[in-house]
Amino acid sequence: MSLKLRLSLLQTAMVCLILLVVHAFIYFFFIKISSETEKQDIEQKGTTLLSQDINSIFAELRLPQDLTKPVLTSNEMIRIIKPDHTVVDSIQNEPDLLNHPSIYHAISHPVSQLINGENGFEMYVQFPIEKQGAQAAVLEIGRKLDSLNKNLDILFSIMVYSTAVAFILSIGVGYLYTRMLFRPITHLVRTMESIQKSGTFRRLEVSLSSKDDELAQLTRTFNSMIERLEQTFDRQKQFLADASHELRTPLTIIESYARLLKRWAHNDPKIRKEATEAILSEAVRLKELTNNLLIGIDSDEEERKRFVEVDLLPLIHSTISSLSFTFHRNIELRGIPEEKAILIEANPEKIRQLLIIVLDNAIKYSQKEIIFEVLTGERHIMLRVKDQGIGIAKEDLPHLFDRFYRTDKARSRKSGGSGLGLAIAENIVKLHAGSIRIDSVLHKGTTVTIKLPYKGKRG
């Protein structure tokens, strides 16, 4: 049984239960009110009768026909009961009432009894008859409550029919309501099945009429989950595409030179040297490319969790020192402020990677001195790297941050470039809420300007 049907039946059962409780309350409340009215009428009749004929009833313990007969209605009886439970005298218009047991009660005021017999409700009221200061008998008036019985039959029929109608309506309305209620869930299930079958990500629309309820929250949570899954999927897809695109060439080169070594290297030292240098060069490039690919697959949320307060100056000094020593190049550092520290909120490893990417490009494409400038403002710090290298053509500038884009494929291959560096640099800058700009003139040089949020100075 589906959850939708179970909820519909549960709702119907709850409605019927509530109706039964309400109907029972109305039914018994109606009996109480109606019987109380009948009791008051009988008590008034008995009191009136006793006050009109003192001698006959109190002295002789008999019922005067001329007084009691006109008082009786068609559904009543009157009788006198002695202490030994015998009936002294009686007058009746409803013979069935005389079948009620004659029981004497020692009482000081009228006492009533409501009975639900085979033919419906009956009311009996006893009045004390005193003789010489002591109770000698009781006067009992019985009435068959025909009006109450008739009204109860009508009321019961109304309740039965109304319950039946409510039951049918509750099933129909409950099914429609649960169907409407489960529509987003059904849509969600179908969307998930569609995603599973097709492999494409879809999102649910949030209804404007229920944008703040739990189902809308479920829809938004689902869409958020789909968005994160899609981002992860796209990131993995991009990683596989990048890897298959860029790793194929160096692996092919390594394989070719390895085969060359296997066939000719033992006889020709020149071939052996050329092959080993080529394999080493491609292995270094392969290592660099793999690191760049792995760096690019972390999510921004995970990266921001690793943000700490970073002093930028030591990072700049250590990076420039390492690259200058490794590549035997002169990198001039300018504009270092007098402050002992320049503080930013960042991932230090990412910032170091950013500096390496920018400086490494300058080293690869320029044989002259490289200038690294540090400029501080009120809210931002600016890092500027200038080289006097081959420069970049104007038509290539808009594509510099595209993954695997190379302005000079022959030059890039020679220098070991993967075409991923600037794309990763741009991602790192965006991660730190900064900006990066490249200005270049062909055959004159390139300037890379990085702007990062500035937390403050510490002297």
The domain spans of the chain are 3-160, 208-295, 304-458
Asked whether the predicted pLDDT for residue 415 surpasses 60, the reply is no
Mean pLDDT of 45-66: 71
Task: Look at the block and give the residue holding tokens 């020679």.
Answer: 414
Please report which confidence band the pLDDT of residue 32 belongs to, taking 50, 70 and 90 as the band edges.
very high
- pLDDT, one tens digit per residue, over 190-230 is 877 887 787 777 777 766 556 677 777 877 888 888 888 88
pLDDT of residue 409: 44
Tokens of 65: 């026909």
When the candidates are 1.10.10.10, 1.10.287.130, 1.10.4190.10, 3.40.47.10, the CATH number that belongs to 208-295 is 1.10.287.130
The predicted pLDDT at position 414 comes to 42
Paired with 310 in beta bridges are 344
CATH 3.10.105.10 fits 304-458, yes or no: no
* pLDDT of amino acid 405: 63
* Model confidence at 158: pLDDT above 90: yes
Cβ–Cβ < 8 Å for 380, 453: yes
Alpha carbon distance 17, 250 (integer Å): 77
Per-residue pLDDT at 336:
77
pLDDT band at 446; cut points 50, 70, 90: very high
Q: What share of the chain has pLDDT > 70, as a percent?
A: 84
pLDDT band at 189, cuts 50/70/90? confident
pTM for this entry: 0.47
Stretch 62-73: mean pLDDT = 72
| pLDDT value of position 110 | 92
Average pLDDT, the chain: 81
The mean per-residue pLDDT over the stretch 70-85 comes to 86
Q: For domain 3-160, which CATH number applies: 3.30.450, 3.30.70, 1.10.3470, 3.30.1760?
A: 3.30.450
Long-range contacts, 58-64 (Cβ 8 Å, 24+): 58/129, 58/130, 58/131, 58/136, 59/131, 61/88, 61/89, 61/129, 61/136, 61/137, 62/88, 62/89, 63/89, 63/90, 63/91
Cβ(65)–Cβ(44) below 8 Å: no
Say whether pLDDT at 54 is over 60: no
Q: Could you give the strand order of the β-sheet that contains 308-311, starting from the edge strand earlier in sequence?
A: 308-311, 341-346, 456-458
Tens of pLDDT along 263-322? 776 777 887 887 787 788 778 767 766 765 666 555 566 667 678 998 999 989 988 888
pLDDT exceeds cutoff 90 at 3: no
The pLDDT, as a whole number, for residue 26 is: 93
Residue 410: pLDDT band by 50, 70, 90 thresholds? Answer: very low
Considering only the C-alpha atoms of the chain, give the largest distance between any 2 of them, rounded to a whole number of Å: 157
